[in-house]
Chains A and B, each alone.
Chain A
């Protein structure tokens, strides 16, 4: 007999136990892995937090540095701005202090080199010019107050222009009087020369000032100018509320005295100014004065013309040239430096005064030329000795005509000219400049 078929049997118990064991291990491994992953995640997160924190710190630092730099830039800009404003105020001050009374060129120089400017006060050698108008009181009496001011302003405008052109510094305008410095605030080698040239130019300019009055039949005014070179103290004088650029020193007082010795139209200079300019000047005469407060008598020089860079010549107001009935023949040479030129020219003396004469010359001569002249008797015989003369006036339209001022006469020449004057009974040789 066949045994009955057995139902298929499941895994054995042992096999199940093994599988359970394996599954447990698997679970444990997964749990470990999960735990590890969790730790890794935590680590990564922590690290990222650290990095983020560091980045944030760096960002904060950078922001702070940026702000710090910007703030610093603002601070520096503010400093620069206040420095620029201070500089602008200083420039304004210089312009206000000097601008009206010195040339634009001097203002520019002061602004360029402010360290060269000693506003606090400095001892300096300067040439001082003082001028005063004569006849102004008489004129003022003929005019309405408004007209007086118009005249004064016209006069000052013309004269101030001249002073600025010669780079003078106007310190004071007191009515019709002026106090001008050459050599402050900026000094130049030719301060004395410019001062004398300026005085000549001022005198020449007076005619323009008088012309409108003359047309109205009003009297002329004339100006006297005194010039002196000496040490003074210059700087800002005054209180905190009001200061001005000023000058003090005995040299200023002496200049005032010198100016007081002048007559209308005259320029008197002191020996110190003369010493610096003598080679260029024509001096019409000298006078010795004894000003108060000055120990020794002082020789003053009346200047009538100047050679060199500023070639200027005053008309000779005190002389009246009288025509001679018969012209006097003469021969002349032009002096070159100290030496007489070789060429002898012919000419005629046609008008004569005490110190001047009008000549007709065969060869034109330049203004301010020095001539050596030999006079001839009507017989044609030469007068012994010679006569030196400076050409003080020429006419472009008639170059043969010149006025000369005698600078040196031999005794024979002087006697000869005196005889000529007497023979022709000349009218008074000196007349007031303007009647």
Chain B
């Protein structure tokens, strides 16, 4: 269920229950983001105790992309009791500013910016 594209990759490591997003997400709208959302929700639906979303090498995320991540966070909140850990990097200023907002949707979400 990995997605490998010229500009971006989404990989799911079942052993560590980690979804790794890399590159630049510049897709247009909900429709184009559907496959990515599917990878994320499927990982959550496996109901691991902790699900890690590793965004440290995600250089760019457009508005439809942040919407997709919001939908994923809401899905976790509504459907299971999985603890979500989001990993970001100071290297990309948008991550510091935007990722903390997901805690408003899912107060238990753990944020690790390094």
A residues lining the B interface (CB < 8 Å):
61, 64-65, 67-69, 71-76, 78-79, 82
Contacts and interface: CB of A to CB of B under 8 A. Distances in A.
Contacts of B67: 65, 69
Nearest 5 interchain pairs by C-beta: A75-B97, A75-B94, A72-B98, A72-B66, A68-B101
B50 interface: no
A79 to B, nearest CB: 5
A69 B102 CA distance: 10
Contact of A68 (B60, B66, B93): B66
Interface string B60-85: 11110011001000100000000000
A72 B66 CA distance: 7
A75 B92 CA distance: 10
Given A64-B104, A64-B105, A75-B98, A69 B70 contact: yes
The majority secondary structure among interface residues of chain B is helix
B63 A65 contact: no
B24 to A, nearest CB: 11
B105 A72 contact: no
A61 B101 CA distance: 12
Given A65-B74, A74-B97, A75-B97, 20 more contacts: A61-B74, A64-B101, A65-B105, A67-B101, A68-B66, A68-B98, A68-B102, A68-B104, A68-B105, A69-B63, A69-B67, A71-B101, A72-B63, A72-B97, A72-B101, A75-B94, A76-B60, A76-B61, A78-B97, A79-B93
A312 B37 CA distance: 70
Nearest to A68: B101
Contacts of B70: 64-65, 68-69
A76 B98 CA distance: 9
Interface residues of B, number: 17
B66 A69 contact: yes
Nearest to A65: B70
B30 to A, nearest CB: 12
Contacts of B66: 68-69, 72
A73 B94 CA distance: 9
A87 B39 CA distance: 37
11 contacts: A64-B105, A68-B66, A68-B102, A68-B104, A71-B101, A72-B61, A72-B66, A76-B61, A78-B97, A79-B93, A79-B94
A61 B105 contact: yes
B81 to A, nearest CB: 17
A74 B96 CA distance: 12
A230 to B, nearest CB: 43
A66 to B, nearest CB: 9
A335 B104 CA distance: 89
A71 B98 contact: yes
B90 to A, nearest CB: 13
A67 B97 CA distance: 12
B3 to A, nearest CB: 21
A61 B105 CA distance: 7
A362 B94 CA distance: 82
B36 to A, nearest CB: 16
A426 B54 CA distance: 95
B7 to A, nearest CB: 16
Contacts of A75: 93-94, 97-98
A330 B75 CA distance: 103
B5 to A, nearest CB: 20
B65 to A, nearest CB: 8
A389 to B, nearest CB: 66
